[in-house]
Structures are given as C-alpha cells and as structure tokens.
Amino acid sequence: MTTNTDWTNLNHDTEAVLRDLSNPFFINTILLGGPTTDKLAAAKAAGFAQVELWRQDVEAYDAGAQALGQHMRQIGLGLTDHQVLLDFDGAPDEIRDAKRQEAIALLDRATALGADTVLTPACTHKDCVAERVVDDLRWLAREAASRGLRVAYEGMAWSTLTYTVPAAWATIQAVGEPNMGLVVDAFHMFSRGRDVRDLQGIPMDRIFLLQLSDIMEEIDLPNIIQIARHRRLLPGQGRFPVVDLVATMLESGYKGPIGLEVFNDAMKARDPMEVAREAMSALRRTVAKSITEATAHVSH
C-alpha cells in the first residue's frame, strides 16, 4: 500500500496548486524510526517545515531539551507541538497530583525546546471525573499561558467523555482560555463515523493543527486502539474522505499546520529518509487535490 513517488518529481499541476499555500506541512515523528537526529534529518530532507515531537524523542537526545531545540533551529525545522499529556482532564484522585506534576514537566520541557504548543488528548481513564474536566483544563491553560504556550486539545475516538470534535470544542468554550484550541484528527473523526459537518460553527483560528491519516480496514470499537497505534496509513492509501476534510477546512479559511500523524509499525521499521519522502508525497498530493476541490466549490 506504499508509494515510491518522490515528492520532488510530482507533476507541475500539483506544484502550481500548492505554490501559494501558506499552511506549514508537518510530520509526527511517530512514523519515523531511528535516533531522534535521524528522524529530524529525514523530515527536513523531505521538505517538512515542522514536526510534532514526543517526550521520548527528547529523552533519547542525550544533550537535553534546550540543546535539541537549538539543533532544530540550526537545521531550520520548526515545532508544531510537543506531546503528549495523557489522561489529564478529569483524572481521578489516585493519579491527579501525579498528572499535574507530569503537566508541569511537559510545559517546562516545551519551553526548553522552544515550542509554542503542547498537546493533550481528552481523558481515556475509565474513572474520568466529568465535573473536573473544565477546571483541570483551565488550570493547564493558565500554566501554559504563564510560559507563553498554547494547549491543543484533542477528542480521541476512545476518550471516555469527549470523543468528537463538537464535544472537544464545547469543552474548550467552557474553559474560556484564549490559548486553548482544537486538534482535528482525521482518524478520530472518521473512525467514529463522523464527518466534516462536525466543523460547523468552529472558528478556524481556534483549530491549532490538522492531523491526517487513512485506513483501509473496517473499524469497530474493540479494535480501534490497535489499528490507531499500529496500522494507520498515509492519506490517499485508504478509504477515509481526507481530501474532503482538508478542502472543507481550507475553504473555511484554515491557515494552520497540516500534517501527518501516522502510527504504522511496518513503515517505522524502514529507512526514515525513504518513509519521510513517501509521506511528503502523499501529503502534497492530498492537499493539492483538496485545493482543487475547494476551488471547484467556489467556482460553482
């Protein structure tokens, strides 16, 4: 299901369509194997402007977060976000204090890296306390703001309470902090049978990033986590209406980062340079098709 097309050799129509696009392209390092510096070198060589960087990437870099941030700036690679803070909002009593300590560590590490955004998905803990969600996120947003950071909040398909884009947006509105915004993830939207109508009424400047992936196999709730963490595909390799999602957001004025969050064990085991090139090829084709579709909507 992979492609060997190098993005630098795409046809002139694709290049022309993408020429005026201002949205930065990113790749989540979870797709790439090897040491942290190899992942970053592959992303840069493939033409990505940014990466989503995990805690594990930082821990694997012996010189520390500040030096890693300096390295990224030296090679001209930006940070979409630093991740990830899991099961934070509504955390039950037995883990709540530990989660706040973990949050502070994430925020401080993001600051050392030079990131401007951290990512937290909606809680997946079975004992998630609904009454605490807004207060916990408000605390996190204010701690982030004191460091000049934003918080990107994501409803995952298996989150306990908040597993759709509208639900995540309602939570953000209840939190009421301007530095908190949405993550829109194609996998989490489409795997729950949702569609682009979920974006209606959401200001595009409150969507902090758009993550793309695809699947071919059928999904049900018992196998959704297994597929999500091991067998996602690049956009265009499966059956998700990814082009429609990107077209809808661009047509609505979205100016933020567009990229790939693809967990795929087989691709991660391959040469990261080759995988990053394939990933960029898939992303460019998808976005070019989306621009063409959005333009067609306007012309009609």
Average pLDDT rounded to a whole number, residues 22-32? 98
Residue carrying structure tokens 């391959």: 270
Half-sphere exposure of 141 (CA within 13 A, CB side): 21
The mean pLDDT value of the chain amounts to 94
Of residues 13 and 106, more confidence is placed in: 106
CA distance linking residue 171 with residue 169, whole number of Å: 5
pLDDT value at residue 299:
55
pLDDT value at residue 298:
57
E strand spans, 68-149: 78-83, 117-121
pLDDT in tens, 114-148: 999 999 999 999 999 999 999 999 999 999 999 99
Q: Which fold has domain 7-295?
A: TIM Barrel (3.20.20)
Backbone angles phi, psi at 262, to 5 degrees: -125, 110
pLDDT at 287 exceeding the cut of 80: yes
pLDDT value at residue 41:
99
Average pLDDT rounded to a whole number, residues 152-181? 99
Average pLDDT rounded to a whole number, residues 74-91? 99
Average pLDDT rounded to a whole number, residues 181-197? 98
Buried b (16+ CB within 10 A) or exposed e, 116-146: bbbbbbbbbbeebbeebbbebbbbbbebbee
pLDDT in tens, 236-247: 999 999 999 999
CA distances from 181 to 90, 139, 160, 168, 177 (A): 18, 15, 19, 9, 9
Residue carrying structure tokens 């009454």: 131
Instruction: State pTM to two decimals.
Output: 0.93
Length of the chain: 300
For residues 36 and 71, the answer to whether their CB atoms sit within 8 Å is: no
pLDDT in tens, 36-66: 999 999 999 999 999 999 999 999 999 999 9
Q: Where are the domains of the chain?
A: 7-295
pLDDT in tens, 3-15: 333 333 444 477 7
Average pLDDT rounded to a whole number, residues 256-278? 99
Q: Which of 212, 189, 188, 209 is nearest to 260 (CA)?
A: 212
pLDDT value at residue 297:
63
Buried b (16+ CB within 10 A) or exposed e, 258-284: bbbbbbbeebbebebbebbbbbbbbbb
- To which H or E segment does residue 45 belong? helix 36-46
Of residues 168 and 296, more confidence is placed in: 168
Average pLDDT rounded to a whole number, residues 76-84? 99
pLDDT at 83 exceeding the cut of 60: yes
The vertex-217 CA angle with 258 and 282, nearest 5°, equals 30
pLDDT at 226 exceeding the cut of 70: yes
Q: Which of 243, 237, 174 is nearest to 210 (CA)?
A: 243
